[in-house]
Amino acid sequence: MVTLRIDGRKVTVRKLSTILDAARKLDIPIPTLCHHPELSPYGGCRLCIVEVKGSAKPVASCTTFAKEGMDIITSSPNLEQLRRTTLELLLSDHPTDCMVCERAGDCKLQELAYFYGIRENRFLGERRVYTKKDNNPFIERDMEKCILCGQCVRVCDEIQGVGAIDFAYRGLKTKICPPFEKDLNCEFCGQCVAICPTGALTGKMWTHRGRQNFKEVDTVCPYCGCGCNLTLFVRQNEVIRISSKENTINKGWLCAKGRFGYEFIKSPDRLKKPLIRIGPKDRSANDSAFKEVEWDEALDYIASRLKEIKAKYGPDAIAGLSSARCTSEENYLFQKFMRAVIGTNNVDHCARY
């Protein structure tokens, strides 16, 4: 453990903690744009600078380890001026189309510009102009809004293990893109969208469908047994977008299905009632092979057929196929029902197809 002082307050943290970790332990706010607690330190944005007594220059608190006896200042006229200048430089090459930006109101850069009261751009000069549109089906990439914080690159590599994007070129031309600037062709988990602090990466499915005044509904993903926590952004009884909170079991990370696979909710093809299959002998030529019934009728039918089959052929003539889309508890109950009630070990599930 190491003990240091931050803004006059003593704090003890584990070895290899950063100054930023120590400040957060004391709830001392330090602005950041490229830092994420689940990703490796990067030190790119320089907003988290702090003064270390005895050091000639400020240091980035997100990449500097806390050391025994350190004395840190997190806010001073000099630090605030440096942070302000850094923000002005970022904004000098950033579109100011907040009126139509998908992330307005939820953009870290906008929030910091507001906090530091930056209205005018005093750094005039060449700006990035990217006209290429990415034709991938899920992720809108507006690289003029990218602040090169690198969080998308790190999350894709370190959390998802895909490495679909990286920094390319150098200097003013530096940009984040897939290899050879091709269209994005990845797993489309959307972690990069979730982590992007600006409007550079957003979901195509929810573009121009609203930014605020959503009802937020916390729920569990219906796709597999992992049970990832979702937050649905609902307006007028329709799910507009899905994200996940950082303090959940899945730490806010989702897969493509959880994040983008929600259009089935309003699909007109969705089954709302049980169907009973009608054999060819019992239906006329134009009849459907299925009859829609109420739950009571369906359950009675299943119970009577199971009893009949078991009495005639024995329990092993019956097999149960469960689903990875059920919860662990539901799957447990299902196998219990097959073994204890039906009397067979013929249980399987769709994930083994």
Measured between alpha carbons, how far is 256 from 351 in angstroms, rounded to an integer? 17
How many residues bind to ligand FES according to rule CB under 6 A?
A: 12
Quote the least distance from Cβ 35 to ligand FES, whole Å. Answer: 4
Binding flag, residue 147, ligand FES (CB under 6 A): no
Binding flag, residue 148, ligand FES (CB under 6 A): no
Nearer to ligand FES, 48 or 194 (CB): 48
Our measurement of the distance from residue 261's CA atom to the centroid of its chain's CA atoms, rounded to an integer in Å, reads 13
Segment interacting with ligand FES, rule: CB under 6 A, options 5-13, 38-46, 118-126, 159-167:
38-46
Neighbours of 171 (CB within 10 A): 5
- CA dist list (Å): 60 to 10, 38, 214, 266, 302: 20, 18, 36, 48, 66
Token pair for residue 162? 């895909």
Pick the binder of ligand FES from 6, 13, 48, 147 (CB under 6 A). 48
Torsion of CA 79, 64, 87, 72, to 10 degrees: -20
Partners of 201 in the β-ladder: 141
SS3 116: coil
Measured between alpha carbons, how far is 46 from 67 in angstroms, rounded to an integer? 20
Q: Write the DSSP symbol of residue 103.
A: T
Binding flag, residue 44, ligand FES (CB under 6 A): yes
Pick the binder of ligand FES from 33, 107, 176, 189 (CB under 6 A). 33
Pick the binder of ligand FES from 4, 11, 47, 155 (CB under 6 A). 47
Q: Write the DSSP symbol of residue 181.
A: G
Pick the binder of ligand FES from 24, 46, 94, 103 (CB under 6 A). 46
Binding flag, residue 60, ligand FES (CB under 6 A): yes
Please tell me the chain's helix, strand, coil percentages from 3-state DSSP, rounded to the nearest 5. Answer: 30, 20, 50
Quote the least distance from Cβ 86 to ligand FES, whole Å. Answer: 9
Nearer to ligand FES, 146 or 255 (CB): 146
State the pairing for strand pair 59-60/49-52. Answer: antiparallel
Residue at token pair 């920094």: 167
Phi, psi (5° rounding) for residue 348?
A: -145, 180
State the pairing for strand pair 290-292/275-277. Answer: antiparallel
Binding flag, residue 28, ligand FES (CB under 6 A): no
Binding flag, residue 109, ligand FES (CB under 6 A): no
Pick the binder of ligand FES from 4, 13, 28, 34 (CB under 6 A). 34
User: According to CB under 6 A, which residues from 62 to 81 bind ligand FES?
Assistant: 62
Quote the least distance from Cβ 63 to ligand FES, whole Å. Answer: 6
Nearer to ligand FES, 44 or 225 (CB): 44
Residue at token pair 């009397």: 343
Binding flag, residue 32, ligand FES (CB under 6 A): yes
Quote the least distance from Cβ 144 to ligand FES, whole Å. Answer: 20
Partners of 348 in the β-ladder: 321
Pick the binder of ligand FES from 45, 91, 195, 200 (CB under 6 A). 45
Nearer to ligand FES, 33 or 196 (CB): 33
Buried b (16+ CB within 10 A) or exposed e, 311-333: eeeebeebebebeeebeeeebee
User: According to CB under 6 A, which residues from 290 to 329 bind ligand FES?
Assistant: none
Please give the residue ranges that form the binding site for ligand FES (CB under 6 A).
32-35, 43-48, 60, 62
